[in-house]
Structure formats: structure tokens, C-alpha cells
Amino acid sequence: MKYATFDEYQEAKNEVLSGVKFTESSTVENGAVRKQYGTIENGTFYEVNDGGIVEFWSDKHPNSRYYDGRTKDDIISSLKEKLSVAESEKEKAIQKVIEASVCRYTATEHQGRVFNIYNESKDPYPNQARQAPAHINIESDVIELSEATYMGGDLYIIPMQVYWTETPALLKVVFLIGCGGSGLFYSPALGNTFAEITNNNIRTAYMTFDKKLYYHSGACDCKGVYDLSPQEWRFRD
């Protein structure tokens, strides 16, 4: 499509309409005004006015041309409008990317974890032995515990390992003390909640087979009886 001046547009239109009778019809599509001028002698002249830019052609000269009938103020206003739309679309795209990149994880855990019950040994290599002592009357060498149990304040118990003991009614539990405010995290890579391991938060205590952990460290925030049965827990808001 070639650019034409207003005079060239008038000449092309007059070539079809000058000195003859013609009919005129118009429609509006998507904001653009479409007009047709029909004659018997010279065929039809066509034009589409889209916001001041007029495209025109005719049966005599079907190659499309256009002229820009907008004023300087019209052009500036149009450019400002397009810039505003572009900036709005850009902001929406940026916001969409930001929302897509933000990982949202519900801080609720309701699945228990199945722990193997091992024979405790100072040598780490034969630690795979999981045979219950003869005095333990239990069919399974695994036990399901909650992944984290709320202790009070912002503290949680996170079981790590379970061992047989010489006492028929007790199992030994190694666990982490996790702080909900700074030491308990969600890992997208692990797909789970974990506690940061420090020099002070790995503890041991004894648990009965009904999954009640009895623990007293001498510290006011780490004593009592904690039910490690799989249960729902939630970070405090």
C-alpha cells in the first residue's frame, strides 16, 4: 500500500465520480468507516477511514493507497493513547511474571512420616540392622510419626530417627527443635518442611509405643509430653 497526498485522493475519487450519477453506502466495522460510491459508467470507488487514515482504491485502479488526514494534535493524541495502552500492557505482563514466579505454599502439614526403627550403634555402617530386640513384641520395624509437632510458643519438634531400646515399653527418638519464626522452612527442592540444624537443636528423648514423647531438658521451653501421632499443624499467623 502506497502513501498518497490528499490531492491524489481527490483526483482518484473524481476519476470515478465526476460528471456521473453515483450511489453511496457506508458501514462501521471495529471503529473504521467503510464507504462505497457506485457508478454505472466508472465502476465503484472504495475508501476506509480508520481514525483519520484513509485507505482508498477503485475498480479502475485496484491498487490500494492511503493518505493521513490527521492533524498534528490528532497524531500526538493517538501516540499518547498507544503509549498509555503499551505501558498498561507492559505492567500487566510484568505483574503476571511476578505472580508466576512467587511460590505460595500452604503452611499446613497433615501427612505423617514412616520411620524405620534401627538398632542404635556407634558404628554408622551396620546401622541398617532393624531387628527388634527379643523382648519387644511388635510385628513391624517401622513407625509412623508426625513430621512436626507443635510444642508451644513458636517451637516445633521434628522427628529424625527412631531406635530400639532395652526397655520393652520405650523407643528412643532423635529429633530437632525447630523455631517457627526463624528455623522452620519450606523447601521447593525437597518438597517438604525442614528445620535448620544448629549446634543446639538436636535432642534425644524416649517415646512410648502410643507415640507419646516424654522430654525434659531443664529448659522451660523444652519439657512435657508431646504426641507424635500424625496430626494437622499450622504456622501461627
pLDDT band at 109 (very low <50, low <70, confident <90, very high): very low
User: Is 138's pLDDT higher than 80?
Assistant: no
Q: Return the C-alpha cell found at 213.
A: 514423647
Residue with cell 540444624: 197
**Residue 55, pLDDT score:** 93
Which pLDDT score is estimated for 11? 93
Cβ proximity of 197 and 176 under 8 Å: yes
Residue 151: pLDDT over 80: no
pLDDT higher than threshold 80 for residue 88: yes
Which of 8-12, 107-111, 160-164, 170-174 comes out lowest in average pLDDT?
A: 107-111
DSSP assignments along 13-73, one per residue = HHHHHTTS--EEEEEEETTEEEEEEE-SSS-EEEEEEETTEEEEEESS--S-EEEE---HH
Show the cell assigned to 192: 517438604
Phi, psi of 53 (to 5 degrees): -95, 115
pLDDT-above-70 percentage for the chain = 72
- CA distances (Å), origin 215, targets 86, 123, 219: 63, 26, 10
> Sorting pLDDT into bands at 50, 70 and 90, what band is 118?
confident
Mean pLDDT, all residues of the chain: 79
228 close to 114: Cβ distance less than 8 angstroms: no
Whether the pLDDT of residue 173 is over 80: the answer is: yes
* Residue 38 to residue 43: CA distance in whole angstroms: 6
Q: Nearest CA to 129 among 137, 140, 120?
A: 120
The pLDDT of residue 45 is above 60: yes
Distance, CA of 120 to CA of 206 (rounded, Å) = 13
Instruction: Dig out the grid coordinates for 103 from the structure.
Output: 511460590
Report residue 8 as a C-alpha cell. Answer: 491524489
